Copies of this chain bind each other. A is one copy, B any other.
Amino acid sequence: MNKIKIAIVDDHQLFRDGIHSLLSKHQEFEIVISAEDGKAFLEKLNEGNHPEILLLDLTMPEMNGFEVLERLKKKYPKIKTIAISMHDDGNYIMQATRGGAHGYLLKNTDEDELLKAIYTVLSGNKYFNTEISQRMINIISLEGVSPKKLSPKEMEILVLIAKGHTTKEIAQKLFISTRTVETHRNNMMKKLEVKNTPELINKAAQLNLI
């Protein structure tokens, strides 16, 4: 029967080798691509040997995992990506999932879980273990009903507030009226669904905005 074609993209050879040797113990897998960054991977893809499953590191030089996801979505939508990352931060997981990942694993995953993830995704489902799901749920609940992005000016003011500046100081620093600062702060509070400034800073920190 046909082997399951796997690609590995990770800038650390130690990890690629580890995954490679683990999967090589299983006859049903064939590693068709092993690349050290997104750019090299996409070049090898163009040569025609397509995987069904991609094990993709997110933090890489040259072209990171998010950019790879974006390209794959357009050019090779049938390839199913399992993100593998050092980062257990919920914001990271959400970004990868929104970017099209079919699964998410931490780099400390074990053999059993890796296999389970591959088979789950191969069968058409998503694979996110309990811990990963919890972190996603946490971020989703933090984001609130309708997650909104802060505008550039809001971000600028948010950072200054977090640094301890008062509305008056910020107004002077940015050459705008104190009322303008107040309005921006109020708008941010509404967007992030918080009641006051300490809670705004806390939420921004949790959402990795600052």
**Residue ID in chain B nearest A195 by CB atoms:** B164
Let me know if B14 and A199 touch, CB within 8 A: no
**Considering the chains assembled together, what is the distance between the CA atoms of A73 and B22 in angstroms?**
35
Q: A202-B205, A205-B205 are in contact. Are A166 and B13 (CB under 8 A)?
A: no
Point out the residue from B12, B161, B164 that lies within 8 Å of A108, measured CB to CB.
B12
> With the chains together, A22 CA to B16 CA distance in Å?
12
Q: In the complex, A12→B113 CA distance in Å?
A: 11
CA distance A106 to B85 in the complex (A): 12
* CA–CA, A202 and B12, complex, Å: 34
Which A residues from 157 to 210 make CB contacts under 8 A with B?
A: 161-164, 166, 194-202, 205-206, 210
Contact A107 B110, CB 8 Å, known A199-B163, A205-B205: no
Q: Do the beta carbons of B199 and A12 come within 8 Å of each other?
A: no
A93-118 CB mask vs B (1 if < 8 Å, else 0) is 00000000000001111110010000
Closest to A169 in B: B195
Whether, in the assembled complex, A86 has its beta carbon less than 8 Å from a beta carbon of chain B, the answer is yes
Is A18 close to B, CB under 8 A?
A: yes
Q: How far is the CB of A4 from chain B (nearest CB, A)?
A: 19
Query: Within the assembled complex, what's the spacing in Å between the Cα atoms of A110 and B14?
Result: 6
Q: With A86-B88, A162-B199, A199-B164 in contact, do A111 and B14 touch (Cβ < 8 Å)?
A: yes
Q: Could you list which residues of chain A lie within 8 angstroms of chain B, going by C-beta atoms?
A: 12-15, 17-18, 21-22, 59, 86, 88, 106-111, 114, 161-164, 166, 194-202, 205-206, 210
